[in-house]
Amino acid sequence: MSMQSQGMNFEMNLYAYLNKYDSRLSEEKLAIDKAVRDLYLCNERVDNKSIILKLLSFLSSADDIVEKDIIRNALEVVLLFTLDDI
């Protein structure tokens, strides 16, 4: 299986996991989606570790307190996500 198809499978599983939360984590879903898109644009691997690192980079450059809270919550969601949750 190619690295891109592994990333796609991971991404599909992650979005299925996030959809369990309905609209409760809509802002966090957007932050995670932005991280995934940025990784694809940079041709980087999409997995928990790379999403966490991307979200940490967003957190370090965020100025708004509300935005920082959203990113922290998104980090928590990704940290708790494992393939066992599917």
Domains in the chain: boundaries: 3-85
Separation of alpha carbons 72 and 53, rounded Å: 12
CATH number for 3-85: choose from 3.40.1030.10, 3.20.20.70, 1.20.5.5260, 3.40.50.300.
1.20.5.5260
The answer to whether the beta carbons of residues 17 and 85 sit under 8 Å apart is: yes
The answer to whether the beta carbons of residues 27 and 66 sit under 8 Å apart is: no
Q: Two tokens at 46?
A: 């999409």
pLDDT digits (tens, 9 = 90+) for 43-77: 998 888 999 999 999 999 999 999 999 999 999 98
pLDDT cut 70: percent of the chain above it:
81
pLDDT at 6: 53
Separation of alpha carbons 28 and 49, rounded Å: 17
pTM for this prediction? 0.76
The answer to whether the beta carbons of residues 52 and 58 sit under 8 Å apart is: no
pLDDT at 1: 47
pLDDT-derived band at 35 (thresholds 50, 70, 90) equals very high
